[in-house]
């Protein structure tokens, strides 16, 4: 029996077309910019030599394109890939496609920061971060933790808010503190976790 957990390599996609123009993207299925694609390859070069048993990837195209770049940079041709709607981005509902800077002027700083960062701030026809947590964590518990505990190394390619919700679980972050958690584009986190999927160790890298 393997008594050491595998590595959970958590990555956020790189720059999308709407990231570049400062728009709330959410579940809108937009692709990467050319820069984003180039940086995804750079992420893969950083990960080259890492042993990965399988990949879990959001079902949105910007994560697919990031994964393609990562695998190209790693020079990996074949690896089991599981697409997961549970790891898609937060749904920004009626705010999808809105320019963030313009919405900050309309909302004021306090409401704008609530929408972007807080745990349970409602969005018309969209999701709170709490709702993202509640759809994603059961999948993590059922489909990822057992394989990590058995010693497998798993790569996740997902989105900023979804990963923030995942970090909240893994690092046991209080509701009131999640607003301080960031997951910039192209960030890579290496976790080792216990049998409940909670953090034993963490390394974080930003690929620029």
Q: For residues 72 and 122, give the distance between their C-alpha atoms in angstroms, rounded to a whole number.
A: 39
In tens digits, the chain (208 residues) has pLDDT values of: 345 789 999 999 999 999 999 999 999 999 999 999 999 999 999 999 999 999 999 999 999 999 999 999 999 989 999 999 999 999 999 999 999 999 999 999 999 999 999 999 999 999 999 999 999 999 999 999 999 999 999 999 999 999 999 999 999 999 999 999 999 999 999 999 999 999 999 999 998 8
Identify the pLDDT of residue 1. 39
Q: For residues 139 and 84, give the distance between their C-alpha atoms in angstroms, rounded to a whole number.
A: 9
The DSSP element (H or E) to which 13 belongs, if any, is: none
Choose, from 86, 89, 127, 159, the residue flagged as catalytic.
Answer: 89
Number of Cβ within a 10 Å radius of residue 6: 21
User: DSSP letters of 111-150?
Assistant: HHHHHHH-SS---TTS--HHHHHHHHHHHIIIIIHHHHHT
Choose, from 13, 14, 64, 159, the residue flagged as catalytic.
Answer: 13
Let me know: does 161 contact 171? Beta carbons within 8 Å.
no
Identify the pLDDT of residue 146. 97
Q: How far is CA 57 from CA 65, 91, 116, 124, in A?
A: 10, 17, 23, 27
Number of Cβ within a 10 Å radius of residue 169: 17
Domains assigned to the chain = 8-206 (3.40.50.1240)
Let me know: does 143 contact 132? Beta carbons within 8 Å.
no
Identify the pLDDT of residue 4. 76
What secondary structure, in 3-state letters, does 18-30 show? HHHCCECCCCCCC
Identify the pLDDT of residue 3. 58
Is residue 13 flagged as an active site residue? yes
Sort 173 into a burial class: Cβ within 10 Å, 0-12 / 13-18 / 19+.
Answer: middle
Is residue 89 flagged as an active site residue? yes
């Amino acid at each position: 029996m393997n008594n050491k957990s595998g590595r959970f390599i958590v990555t956020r996609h790189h720059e999308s077309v709407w990231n570049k123009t400062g728009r709330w993207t959410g579940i809108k299925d937009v692709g990467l910019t050319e820069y984003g694609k180039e940086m995804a390859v750079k992420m893969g070069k950083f990960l080259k030599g890492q042993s990965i048993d399988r990949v879990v990837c959001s079902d949105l195209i910007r994560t697919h394109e990031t994964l393609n770049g990562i695998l190209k940079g790693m020079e990996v041709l074949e690896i089991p890939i599981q697409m997961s709607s549970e790891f898609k981005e937060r749904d920004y509902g009626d705010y999808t496609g809105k320019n963030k800077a313009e919405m900050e002027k309309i909302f004021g700083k306090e409401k704008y920061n609530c929408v972007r960062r807080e745990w349970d701030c409602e969005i018309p026809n969209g999701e709170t971060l709490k709702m993202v947590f509640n759809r994603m964590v059961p999948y993590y518990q059922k489909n990822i933790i057992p394989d990590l505990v058995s010693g497998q190394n798993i790569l996740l390619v997902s989105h900023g808010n979804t990963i923030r919700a995942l970090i909240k679980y893994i690092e046991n972050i209080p509701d009131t503190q999640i607003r301080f958690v960031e997951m910039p584009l192209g960030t890579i986190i290496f976790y080792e976790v216990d049998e409940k999927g909670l953090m034993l160790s963490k390394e974080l890298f930003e690929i620029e």
